[in-house]
């Protein structure tokens, strides 16, 4: 194999790896996301409404196998309530740390929830 072909093959594999790594990780709830401002975080200039009372439905299976993710406000040009949901735990002792709207100066930034192991 020619040297230029090897270089081209290595470059193509690197690009493929980068493309796979760019997939949306927000749906991958098994990977903990550290708290703090995150790239692409939602920024809003008005406070979210008060959180309404929440009563979780019964867990879809044994509670040790699921974790309740409470509902929260989402910004979609206006405030929209997103109901809570039960999620399967990715590990037996994993706990869900809920997302929150953090005040930063005169704006509010959404900090995503994450699994804590």
* Model pLDDT, residue 3: 55
In a domain, 9, yes or no: no
Six-digit token string for 79: 């405030």
* Model pLDDT, residue 78: 95
In a domain, 5, yes or no: no
* Model pLDDT, residue 39: 57
In a domain, 24, yes or no: no
In a domain, 89, yes or no: yes
Helix, strand counts (H, E) of the chain: 1, 9
Six-digit token string for 69: 């993710």
- Domain range enclosing 55: 35-116
In a domain, 7, yes or no: no
In a domain, 21, yes or no: no
* Model pLDDT, residue 63: 86
| Model confidence pTM above 0.75 | no
In a domain, 18, yes or no: no
* Model pLDDT, residue 41: 73
Which residue ranges of the chain lie beneath pLDDT 70? Answer: 1-40
Domain count, the chain: 1
**Residue 61 DSSP one-character state:** S
* Model pLDDT, residue 12: 52
In a domain, 12, yes or no: no
């Amino acid at each position: 194999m020619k040297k230029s072909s090897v270089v081209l093959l290595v470059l193509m594999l690197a690009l493929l790896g980068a493309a796979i790594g760019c997939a949306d990780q927000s749906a991958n709830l098994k990977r903990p996301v550290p708290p703090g401002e995150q790239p692409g975080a939602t920024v809003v200039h008005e406070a979210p409404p008060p959180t309404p009372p929440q009563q979780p439905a019964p867990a879809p299976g044994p509670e040790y196998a699921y974790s309740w993710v409470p509902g929260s406000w989402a910004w979609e040009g206006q405030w929209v309530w997103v109901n809570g949901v039960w999620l399967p735990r990715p590990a037996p002792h994993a706990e869900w740390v809920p997302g929150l709207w953090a005040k930063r100066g005169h704006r509010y930034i959404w900090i995503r929830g994450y699994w804590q192991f």
